[in-house]
Amino acid sequence: MASLEAPDMITPGIEDVVANAKLHGNAGTSDHTMVLNMGPQHPSTHGVLRLVLEIDGEAIVALAPDIGYLHTGIEKTCEAKFYQQVIPLTDRIDYLCPMTNNLAYCLAVEKLLELEIPERAQILRVLLNEITRIQSHLVWLGTHAMDIGALTMFLYCWREREDTLRIFESISGQRMMTSYFRIGGLALEPPLEFREQVQNFLDIMPGRIDQYESLLTGNPIWIGRLQGVGTLSAAEAVALGVTGPPLRASGVDWDLRRDMPYSSYEKFKFDVPTSTVGDVWARYTVRLLEMRESVKICQQAMDMLAGMPANGRIVADAPKIVLPYREQMKTQMESLIHHFKIVTEGFAVPAGEVYQAVESPRGEMGYYVVSDGTAKPYRVHMRNPSFATLQALETMCKGRLLADVVAVIGSIDIVLGEIDR
């Protein structure tokens, strides 16, 4: 009965929940609790998450998440690939923010290589990351509202998400699994229509966020379902490893973009929205404000890019690491040799270990990369925000009603792909 003496806040295992229910059980009478299985195929668990709940009537007594249904051994696969071949794998960890995963991995390997990235590439990386953040929050808002019964929101959010996916498609050729970042910079020069496309999106977006708010913020059903539900205090959030919007909604003012800047985030001016309430409503307001801040950051990035020479470098000056331009490869012997060597043998990375964390839409995404001096990573580990945040689910749901579990799962915005890897 491990969970009975376990320190408070430790998420129990499934066996604990079942065993506890048997202890509490008084089968045959009216006062026994029951064990309910939720998932793994359940529309409101946002992926293949299984929950085992002990319920007393409608109230949650205990809850245990069961994960691993999407485990594909990405960390193990990384060890068998060249450094540059890992990038498409990182897309597939958190399929709602592929660019953020690309960035974290590339920054980690660049730190190992001690590579200097051109400013234009850094700004473009920031721009794309913030569009990714808006896109991810749109998916969150649409599905979260749909779980609670506001189906219309889903359609509105998907309308704007389509714009962001078109931007990704024009820049990388892919709508979701973009793999656009490279170790040392970016894959391709953005196409000519990129500027206009992004600017159009940034122009409409603030008005669209107003529209979402007009549909939800004053809605009495929405307020009733969100306010006071799933409360998490600042101390609990820190103890349970919660990061990102749920941490800030609990009153901890921490954002890696501002506090430990990477990829030239220090050049941007933006606010970090926080709340001290810590309930589902606070997470909703914090994320909506974050989308507005992201629009501001994107606009600053667009202005910075406009002030830079078009066609400026987007890759580091490292011919042994970055693939040569196609034109050069076909006309210069040396570039052809570099191309051949990088593709067939990869490039050696000096031995060492680094941990690089970035602020993903869901919180702190960290890549721990260990090199033994060869062309393949010795170990790649991803610290994913959803994995840690899921540990706080029991604390948030205990004592609440069964229907609130759906609201709480929506509010922590987990992606099972990155939990299971």
Partner 1 sequence: MATTAPTPNPAPVPDAAAKAGPIFGKAAVFEAMAENAAVKALSELATDAKFDRKELTITVARESIVAACEAVKAAGYNFFEDLTAVDWYPQEPRFQLSYHILSHGMKERVRLAVRLDSAGLTLDSITPVWPSANFYEREVFDLFGIHFAGHPRLTRIMMPENWEGHPLRKDYPVEGYR
Interface positions with partner 1 (CB under 8 A): 2-3, 5-13, 15-16, 67-68, 71, 73, 75-77, 79-80, 111-112, 114, 116, 118-119, 188-189, 191, 238-241, 252, 254, 259-260, 309, 311-317, 325-328, 352-355, 357, 364, 366, 368, 370, 378-379, 381, 383, 387-388, 390-391, 420-421
CA–chain centroid gap for 254, Å, is: 16
Taking the complex as a whole, the smallest distance from the CB of residue 340 to partner 1 amounts, in Å, to: 20
Q: How far is the CB of 305 from partner 1 (least distance, A)?
A: 14
Residues 6+ apart with CB under 8 A from 144: 284, 407, 410, 411, 413
- Least distance from C-beta 205 to partner 1, angstroms? 28
239 vs 401, beta carbon nearer partner 1: 239
Choose between 263 and 299: whose C-beta lies nearer to partner 1. 263
Q: Which is nearer to partner 1, 206 or 241 (CB)?
A: 241
Between residues 10 and 176, which has the closer beta carbon with respect to partner 1?
10
- Alpha carbon separation from 378 to 83, 347, 357 (Å, rounded): 10, 14, 19
Cα distances (angstroms) measured from residue 393 to each of 11, 143, 293, 388, 414: 8, 18, 27, 10, 11
Instruction: For residue 185, give both structure tokens.
Output: 């910079």
Measured from the CB of residue 144, what is the shortest distance to partner 1 in angstroms? 23
Strand 59-66 to strand 50-56: parallel, antiparallel, or no bridges (unpaired)? Answer: antiparallel
Which single residue is written with the structure tokens 């009153």?
251
CB of 403 to partner 1, least distance (A): 26
Residue 132 CB neighbour total at 10 angstroms: 26
Nearer to partner 1, 109 or 138 (CB): 109
Shortest gap between Cβ of 315 and partner 1 (angstroms)?
8
**Residue with the two structure tokens 């400026």:** 312
Burial class, 373, CB count within 10 angstroms (exposed 0-12 / middle 13-18 / buried 19+): exposed
For partner 1, the closer of residues 156 and 254 by Cβ is 254
